[in-house]
Every structure is written in C-alpha cells, then in structure tokens.
A and B are shown apart, each in its own frame.
Chain A
C-alpha cells in the first residue's frame, strides 16, 4: 500500500482533528460525486493518522526547574518521592 499524502503532517493536532470532523460530516451527507467522495475519504484517513500519531508520542519527561547562579535556569530530573 502506497503512503498517503503527507500534506497534513505540518498541521497541529487541533487543526487536523477539526478538518477530520468536517470531512466525516461531509462524506456522511452523501451528496458528493463519486470521485470527490473517494478523495475526501483518503484525506480523512490521512488526517486520522496524523491525529493518532500526535497522540501516540512517546512518554514525556518530568523535570524540575532550578535557578542557579546569576539567574541561569536549568532542568533537573525530579527526585523520586
């Protein structure tokens, strides 16, 4: 299977989700011509993949912000409690 368009890769999660919702509504109305329906469907699937990949980001770090000498900031791992 060929990879779908990556034109959506730069969208934020909110933008992608919002467009996906639009497409679902549109496609469900059923009044588009067949070729256009096909294209919308493929765009929708691509957008859903973008959303899922944003959510599936690897585990985030938990750190402590500490101010050092002369106001320099640095991040330290949080000590387990």
Chain B
C-alpha cells in the first residue's frame, strides 16, 4: 500500500479540485454567515445552506467592487473558484463576485444607503430650504436631448414667461451619470441661479439608479441653492428625491413648483385692489352717514328755537302798545302811549330799524360759530377725501358717488333755504305787526300829535301832552297822518272844567 505524506495527499487533492474545469468558475447559492472583514480588507465568511457549508474568502480588490455590504443572513450567489488552503487542510471558495440573490442587489444597496443617510439626518425637513416665490433665473440639470426638458420648458413658458432659464446639460444614465450630474450642478453654482431643477424622464430602476448615488446625494444636500428633484414618474423615488429641498413627482411637476402661475397671481392682485376700494368706500359711507345724522340733529337746535324767543319779545311789545293805546282811549283823551313818550326822539321807523338790526346781528353771530359752520367744515373735509379716493376709482363708481353727493348737497341747500325763508317770513310778520301798532298808523285813524315850535324854527319841538305846556296865543305844530298844520292857541281848557269843550273834542 502506498503511504502518502500529508504534503503529497494535500497536493493531490488540490490538483484534483483546482484542475477540475467544472470547479474553475462556479456560481454558488447560499446564505452568508460568520462574516468578518480583516483590517487589510479581505472578507472571510461561510456560505451555507441547510445541509452543508463552505468556507469562503473574498479578497480586498474584489470586495471593493461589491456594490453592497455583505451581512450575515443575506442570500447570495457567489461567483468564484474552489481552492485548497494547504496549511489548514481546508478547501474554500475564493469569491470573485458576490451578488444578491432574489432581492435585487441594486435595491438592497439603495435601501442601505437610504437608511445610512437618514440616520445622518440628511432627509430632515428642517434642512430643506424654501423655494423663492418668484425666481429671476431657474437652472435645470438634465439631458439636453430628452423629452423631459421640452416638457419643463413648455410648462415654464406657460406659467411665467418672464423667467430666465439656464440649462446645464448632463448625462443622466449609466456609470458616468452621477459624476456628470455633479459637475453640471457645480457649473450652475458659479453662474448664480435662484433655484435648480434636477430632472430626468421615466425609466427602470436600473436606469434611474444613477440618482441613488451617494456622492450625488451629498452634493445635492450640500447645495446652497434650493434644489427641486424631478426624477422619473410618480412612483419612482430616488435618494436624490429624498435629499432635495422639494420632491416633484415628474419633471413637469418640478417646473410647476418653481414658478408661480402668473395669470392667477395677477388675478389675485386685481382682487386685492377691488377689496381695497370697497373697504374704503364703506369707510367713507360710514363717515357720510355720521355726518348726515349730525346735520339732522343740529338743524333742530339752530335759530329756529331762538326765533321763538324773538317772536315772544315782539309779541310783548305789541301787547304793550295795544294796552297803552286802549288806556288812553278809556280816558277819552287822545294821547300817545308811554312807550312812545319815553322814546321821544326815536321814531317808530327807527325803532323798527333797530329791532331788525338786532335780530340780524344775533343771526350772524350764531352763524359764525354755529354747529352749521362746523358741519360745513366737516363736510368740506369729507368731500376732499372723497375726491382723493375718486381719482383712484373706476369711472362708473365715481359717477355713482358723485350723484349721491350731489343729492346730499341739494338736500342740504334745500334745508338751508327753507330755514332761511322761514326766518325771513317770521321777520316780515313781526315787522308787519309792529307796523300795525305803530303810532304812525294811529295817526292815520285821525289822531294828531301836537308839538311846540322851538324858537329858531328848528324841527323837533316838545310834544304837547298837558294843557300846562301851552299858553294862549302860542303857535303850535299839529302833526297829522300826511303832514302838519300850524295853529295858534285860542284858549286853554283843563279837563273837567268846561264840559262843552270836551264834548266838542269827542264828537
């Protein structure tokens, strides 16, 4: 029997395994366990299923290419070769490439990166910058050839033609995509735009995967200008979407998010103007109503009432005159009343004049500081304000308001005229009554005023009211209604002495 050395046996087994073409490049399905990574980057783990296991190693160079981080429990497909590790006397799988089995490698990588960045706080709401309401310049990172760009330009034009747009072209698919998009972003920083859209049209998970790249996500997170991400369709969510300041479901939605709808904004401004005008008109209306109410009240307190007082005064005078004349008459001697005597030099005409003057004086004084004057002033101010307002109001509103003011003015003027007319009428009546009682009218009824004639022929001698004032032979002036008569005293007969003389007088 041949006796092998350990070395020889091992070599034989090694040659058997390593020269077997079937084992030269194998794909093995199993579950990872006991995974560890050495300091120099080599990965050591066990690949197992229910019944068996195999030690595995993935050297640094190969494990660096792995797009996910292998973990215990992961179901993988390992591509590699079988080899023998002589020193240990074990065989192992030297893994060249590791792929996730069933779940999808890309997707797992995506989930892992998402969790990691979330833990770092890159998706936090608080980090997200608000978009400017009305940007002057919008930057778009996208493929210059895709339909997405055209859709965005159409939307921007429609919503707000006034905005400047700068397109920073990039490759949006494949291995070069992340680097290209980052470079395109950086170019936009240098140009100074107000907001950036990063966009590409729809595609498969693999096609959109460039936007799950870690470096790109970090570049967007660090971007000082607000970024709107519009990648793929509604249901596609990439890491860029999560890290951007605003996520739009599609490129078109991104364009919508970035500028206001100009037509709608202009309508809102018109509405604001209408509301301003209506509020001002309401305010003026209220002021006008208050003024109107005041005017109504004040009119009742104006001269009308004090007119009462004056009228009473005049009535009293009337009564006095009448009583005096009646008294004289009862004595059966024609004599003017005391009032007339006392007022000697004051003629009835002058008395009337004085009364009239005094009445009008009072009237004027009242008007100078009257509530009417104050109301006039308030009204003038109100109208001045209204005129200011009207300059800003559309024509038909102005016309309507003018009409109203005109009507109010007319009402005011009417009330003024009426009051004035009333007062004038009252004055006329008072004057007429005074006139009726005037001594002049008494003269018209046949009574006469007898006066002495002063020496020198100057007018205005004494009124003769007693027989003692005259002597026989004296010349007197007798005033009748329409003139005077010069007479000479024939005889003087005191009352009661000569009945015949009295009878003659009263005949």
Contact = CB atoms under 8 A, between A and B. Distances in A.
A38 B167 contact: no
B150 A73 contact: no
Interface in B243-282: 260, 262, 265-266, 269, 272-273, 275-277, 279-280, 282
Contacts of A73: 187, 190-191
A10 interface: no
Contact of A60 (B165, B169, B286): B165
Contacts of B167: 62-65, 78
Given A14-B133, A64-B167, A67-B187, A55 B262 contact: yes
Interface in A1-33: 1, 12-14, 17, 20-21, 23-24, 27-28, 30, 32
B385 A35 contact: yes
B269 A24 contact: no
Given A41-B389, A60-B162, A65 B188 contact: yes
A28 B190 CA distance: 47
Nearest to B133: A14
A5 B243 CA distance: 44
Nearest to A45: B392
Contacts of B63: none
B286 A30 contact: yes
A65 B166 contact: yes
Contacts of A67: 187
B164 interface: yes
A13 B163 CA distance: 14
B287 interface: yes
Contacts of A1: 391
Contacts of A48: 269, 272-273, 276
Nearest to B190: A73
A34 B205 CA distance: 66
Contacts of A13: 133-134
B162 A45 contact: no
A27 to B, nearest CB: 4
Interface residues of B, number: 46
A8 to B, nearest CB: 13
A23 B277 CA distance: 12
Contacts of B392: 41-42, 45
Interface residues of A, number: 42
A59 B280 contact: no
Nearest to B168: A65
Nearest to B283: A37
B460 interface: no
Nearest to B149: A81
A45 B191 contact: no
A23 B279 CA distance: 11
Contacts of A20: 269, 272
A27 B276 CA distance: 7
B50 to A, nearest CB: 58
A52 B218 CA distance: 39
A52 to B, nearest CB: 5
Interface in B121-166: 132-134, 137, 139, 144-145, 150, 153, 160-166
- B134, B163, B191 — which one has the most chain A CB atoms within 10 A of its CB? B134
A24 B165 contact: no
B388 interface: yes
A66 to B, nearest CB: 8
B164 A60 contact: yes
A27 B280 contact: yes
Interface string B175-193: 0000000000001101100
Nearest to B162: A57
Nearest to A1: B391
A38 B134 contact: no
Contacts of A14: 132-134
Contact of A62 (B165, B265, B276): B165
A34 B272 CA distance: 20
23 contacts: A1-B391, A13-B133, A14-B134, A21-B272, A24-B276, A24-B279, A27-B276, A34-B283, A34-B284, A41-B276, A41-B280, A41-B392, A55-B134, A55-B260, A58-B162, A60-B162, A61-B164, A62-B164, A64-B166, A65-B166, A65-B167, A65-B168, A65-B191
Interface of A: 1, 12-14, 17, 20-21, 23-24, 27-28, 30, 32, 34-35, 37-38, 41-42, 44-45, 48, 51-52, 54-67, 73, 75, 78, 81
The 4 closest A-B pairs by CB, nearest first: A57-B162, A27-B279, A60-B164, A13-B134
Given A37-B280, A56-B162, A65-B139, 10 more contacts: A20-B269, A27-B275, A30-B282, A35-B385, A51-B265, A52-B269, A55-B134, A60-B161, A63-B165, A81-B150
